[in-house]
Every structure is written in structure tokens, then in C-alpha cells.
Amino acid sequence: MATQPARPIKFYTYAVSGHAHRVELALSMLGLPFERIEVDLKVREHKSAAFLGRNPFGQVPVIEDGDVTLGDSNSILVYLAKRYDPNGRWLPEDPQGAARVQRWFSVAAGELYNGPVSARGYALFRNKPVPNEVVENANRLFTLLEQHLAKQPFLMGAAPTLADIAIYSYTSLAAEGRLSLEPYPQLRAWLARFEALPGFVPMRRSQLPALAEATP
Ligand SMILES: N[C@@H](CCC(=O)N[C@@H](CS)C(=O)NCC(=O)O)C(=O)O
């Protein structure tokens, strides 16, 4: 199996998108060459005919790797690991391991989306109070993660996997949704452990102040 693409992977992104940050983490942690292409959500470039041709859902992130075009962060994570991580370090092949990673992808698209992602949408992009229900959703998830990470260093056990990448970005951005991680020491320790991994890249923050009107 090729462990490097023939040409740099094209990575369509938006600087403050946590979904896109997941993909940037995977590209970087797998040591893959890539070319960043900024999609300006503020001018609705993601709804242009050209971009809809790449992703009919009109969302970042998207990658193009040779003749493969893919949208959706979690599906891109699976593709990159299956194609470029021959040892299955980031995505176990065994039925139970694969299913457990998928379960965290479901959490990323479900509980994480309805809690921390949504809170950030209200607070950062719409400058509105975060509804109590969203705060409760987030704290329910953080409590569950806190208990889970008290037993093991990473979500799947001793080593990091795609599950950690899928959950990391928006959890680390909790404060931008006016959510506190103060009551969750195990969760904060996991964030620090993840940030110490080779290839870790922080989200690029430089465009943040201009973002109030850029509603993902
Ligand atoms: N399921 C998608 C969700 C991606 C997503 O919500 N992207 C946002 C930016 S964080 C976006 O492009 N929003 C614009 C829109 O939905 O119109 C994924 O996991 O990649």
C-alpha cells in the first residue's frame, strides 16, 4: 500500500472550522503532503457551483487525492487511514476495534455536535446566549468523557486513534462556546496528551475576530 500520495492532497478548508481541523490533524499526524485551499464561507464560496461539484452538501472540509474527491470530516479520516496508514494504527481493522471507532464518529456527529459544536455556533458566530439545553448536552458529554478517560489515556485505550482526532477539535474549543472544562481534569489531561503527539497542529486562529458574520 502506498504510504504517500503521488501529489500533495488538495485540502479545502476554512480556518475556524473544527470539522476541517480534524482533517488537518489527520493529514499532519500521518505525515502526508497537502495543499491548503481556503474556501471563504463569508462570501458563500462553499455554495458556488464549482464547490458544490466537489461536495453537494456545500460544506468544508473536502479533499481531492488524485481522482478521489471526498467530503465529510469523518469519512475523510477513514479514507486517509485506510489508504495511508498500512499498520492500522489509527483505525483498527478488527471488527470490534473498527466498530468502537465508528461509535466515536457517531458521538462526534451526534452528542458533540448537539453540545460543544452548537454552543460555539451560538456564542462565536451568532453572538447569542447559548441555550441551557445545549449547555446541558455539552456537560453530559464532558462528564461521560471524564469518566471514560479516567480509565485510559486515549479514547480507544493506550494509543491515539481516529476516535481522538474526531472528538478533539471541538472539545478543545469549548471555551469559544462559553463552556468551562474546569470541572473535568481528566478531559483536560487528555487534551494536553493529544497536543503532545507528533504531528499535532493547533487550529489557526488568526481569522477569528472577523468571523461574527460567518455562520457555518
Ligand atoms: N458532516 C460534516 C459537517 C461539516 C460542516 O458542518 N462544515 C461547516 C463548517 S464547520 C460548513 O461548511 N458549514 C457551511 C454550511 O453548512 O452551509 C463533516 O463532518 O465534515
Percent of the chain with pLDDT over 70: 94
Best residue among 54, 55, 59 to mutate for probing ligand 1's pocket (most ligand atoms within 8 Å of CB) is 59
pLDDT at 2: 72
pLDDT at 3: 87
The ligand 1 atom at the shortest distance from the C-alpha of residue 57 is 16
Outline where the chain has alpha helix (H).
18-29, 49-54, 73-84, 95-109, 111-112, 118-120, 132-149, 162-172, 185-195
- 156-201 pLDDT, tens digit each: 999 999 999 999 999 999 999 999 999 999 999 999 999 999 999 9
- 19-36 pLDDT, tens digit each: 999 999 999 999 999 999
Q: Does the Cβ of 60 fall within 6 Å of ligand 1?
A: yes
d(CA 126, CA 156): 35
- 132-142 pLDDT, tens digit each: 999 999 999 99
Looking at residues 35-48, what average pLDDT do you find? Answer: 95
d(CA 60, CA 174): 20
At residue 154 the predicted structure's pLDDT band, cuts being 50, 70 and 90, is very high
Q: Does the Cβ of 171 fall within 6 Å of ligand 1?
A: no
Q: Does the Cβ of 17 fall within 6 Å of ligand 1?
A: yes
HSE toward the beta carbon, residue 66, CA cutoff 13 A: 7
C-alpha 184 to ligand 1 mean position (Å) = 27
